[in-house]
Structures are given as C-alpha cells and as structure tokens.
Amino acid sequence: MGDSRIGVALSDPLGIMASPLTIISRTDEEADIEAIIAIARQNEVARIIIGLPLSMDGSLGKQANKVKEFAAELSCQIDIPIEFKDERLTTVLAKRIVRNVRKTSRETRYDAAAAALILQSYLDSALETEEHQDESG
C-alpha cells in the first residue's frame, strides 16, 4: 500500500500461487476501503494480507504506521481477518521482474506485482508451517 496506489493480488483457491490482480489508484481512504471490500467480496476472499513496509532494521517507520492505521479502519468495516506480511524489498524485486514491460505501464504494474510477491511469501510461509506441523505431529 503506497500513498498513490494499492497493489492487489489474489491466490488460487488452494492458497498455493499468488497472481497480480489490479491496482487501486488512491483517492481518499473511504473510497480505497470500499474498493478493497468490493474486490474481497467479489472474489470470496477468506483473508486479507497487507504488506507492512518495515525499516531495514525491522522497526516501524512512518509508512508502516500509515499502513497499520489504514488496516485498522478497514478491519472495522469488513469481517475478513487481516494479517500483515513484511514487504521489505518486494517493490525493488517487482520492478526488476516487470522491467521489460512497456515504460508507460511500469509504474502501475509493479504495484500489483509487488502485491503478488507479498502474498506469495505469505502463502509459502503458511505452507511451510503446515508441512512442519504435519511432520512433527
């Protein structure tokens, strides 16, 4: 979630693979939240994962606090669980991935690609945790 755009990604029904979906151009908080709620309902989302832009030392900076405030407001308006995932360096990686996309669309496409990377990281962590529990239990 940036100040100008929110990248959106979805996973497949089994929670194995994330794919970029769209970009929400930020207007105001109410409209942004309505857009997220509409996407979540239309796609029968079971959980919302929000990238948390931690500082390189792991601390919460200005943008991370903005994200947490936005998520708190979103959680008041939707009954879907919300979780955070560290998103350090995902935008840098997403820009590298989409560097061959036409220059005019790069700026917005990397937001959705970054969202997919964040979601994929979450899915991979959840799968590893599930596999570890299966092995030990």
pLDDT tens profile 15-69 = 888 888 999 999 999 999 999 999 999 999 999 999 998 877 878 889 899 999 9
CA nearest neighbour of 87 among 61, 69, 107: 61
Helix (H), strand (E), coil (C) string for 84-130 = EEECCCHHHHHHHHCCCCCHHHHHHHHHHHHHHHHHHHHHHHHHHHH
Sort 18 into a burial class: Cβ within 10 Å, 0-12 / 13-18 / 19+. Answer: buried
Q: Taking the domains of the chain in order of start, what are their residue ranges?
A: 5-132
pTM for the predicted model, two decimal places? 0.74
114-136, pLDDT tens digit by residue? 788 888 888 888 777 666 566 65
CATH class, 5-132 region: alpha beta
CB atoms within 10 A of CB 26: 15
